[in-house]
Chain A
Amino acid sequence: MNKTVEAIKSVRSDATAGPTDYDTILDRYFGTASESQSASITRRQRESMIKLAAVALSAALNAAEPRRLGSGVATQLIPVGTVAASQSASDEQATAWKLREQLGNILRNALWEDFRDGMPSQFAHDLRTLVLDFGTAAVTELQRFIAARPIRPGLGFEALTALATFNYPSIASDRRRLIEWALTSPSSEIRYGAALALVSLGDPMAVQPLEAAISSERIPDLRHALQKVLQAIKEK
């Protein structure tokens, strides 16, 4: 246990430490077991070491990036079993958990929000905060969420058109992937939202997916809207 406390103190003293630094610190305190060494360690000892390492790492991550991970992450990461301990001891996974939780909360809060033309929505505000906190991972998670669960089409429309107003180059690639995917959504409102997002972005790379969407669109009104968007992008 003393080793864990020392490890936590060591990482906390350097809040800019990156994942490689954590590995180094953990190696320093817990050692890198060779095959012969690990054979001599009992299963119970190995489990104990992994648990301690996970606790130390989660505390260290929390100290290093409080905004990104939020308070209380360290306690959430305390493992129940060996497998959980080793899984939780990763920055990516902890971030993914937190992101998933926050996105779920945002979508839940937006369930009954009444969106109006031109009026900034609370949902759009929350989505922006999420992107600021988690970066482009928020966009890919949103896509995963929409793909996995049927959401209110109006929410999908709002998400797409709001994302198009975020001027963050780091999300551009994943956002384009999300919008192009949304152009093939079974929901006409989401397909329309994707088209309006594209016209906001004015991205010439959208021409090809838009042409494909137009050729497969069966609703005449929506096909006309897509054609108008295509023309607007070409004229830019």
Chain B
Amino acid sequence: MELLYKTQKAGRWFTVREVAQQWLAERRHLPADAVCEFKTSDNTLSVFELDRARNNAARIVAAIASKSNNKIVNTDCLVFDSAILADIGITRNKKQGETPDNVANEWHWDLTELTGVQLVKLAEELVNRAVLLSLLDKELISALQGAASAGELQKDQVSRPVMTQANL
């Protein structure tokens, strides 16, 4: 199974990965910035399950972005094999997501009880093995509109700027 992690800022992963790969080759250590890309809360990292063709990626990212008080913009996410987690000993628990999209919430997983060492190992694995998926604002808006027209979006939870932007 493939998992999706939304990055903090579009574009930044390219530099983070380049620098990290250089550090790993020369110093055999990961730079701190690479770890900072993964924002944990209560020692938990939020990820989503992708379908085989990654067709639900836009819908997941749109669902995450729809709660934000800013407009939907071009967004990056990392895609990686869930087998990585088992190798590092990271526990994953299926947990209902908290986005306005009822269907996207079903694809949500929590990586729980993360230790600092596990986070560093996860970052290193993702530097070496994750695929960056670039999602354009238009496809995100389209995915959100699709969710809305299917009646699967809780519009009252969508931020006002996104409601306006997506004509919901």
Q: Which residues of A contact B (CB under 8 A)?
A: 115-120, 153-154, 157, 161, 187-189, 192-193, 196, 199, 219-222, 224-225, 228-229, 232
Contact = CB atoms under 8 A, between A and B. Distances in A.
A46 to B, nearest CB: 55
Contacts of B12: 115, 154, 157, 189
Given A118-B65, A196-B74, A188 B14 contact: yes
Given A225-B134, A228-B136, A118 B70 contact: yes
Sorting the interface of chain B by its residue count into under 10, 10 to 19, 20 to 34 or 35 or more gives: 20 to 34
A189 B15 contact: yes
Given A118-B72, A199-B74, A229-B136, A219 B9 contact: no
10 contacts: A117-B75, A118-B72, A153-B11, A154-B15, A157-B11, A187-B14, A189-B15, A199-B74, A219-B14, A222-B14
Given A222-B14, A228-B134, 18 more contacts: A115-B9, A117-B68, A117-B70, A117-B73, A118-B72, A118-B73, A119-B70, A153-B11, A154-B9, A154-B11, A157-B11, A161-B74, A187-B14, A187-B15, A196-B74, A221-B14, A228-B136, A232-B138
* Majority secondary structure of chain A interface residues (helix, strand, loop or mixed): helix
Contact of A153 (B8, B15, B71, B74): B15
Nearest to B75: A117
Given A221-B131, A225-B134, A116 B8 contact: yes
A221 B132 CA distance: 6
A157 B14 CA distance: 11
A188 B65 CA distance: 25
A118 B71 contact: yes
Interface string B83-99: 00000000000000000
Contacts of B32: none
Contacts of B18: 188
A224 B65 CA distance: 22
Contacts of A187: 14-15
B10 to A, nearest CB: 6
B134 A224 contact: yes
Contacts of B75: 117
Given A196-B74, A199-B74, A221-B131, A117 B136 contact: no
Interface string B119-143: 0000000000001111010100000
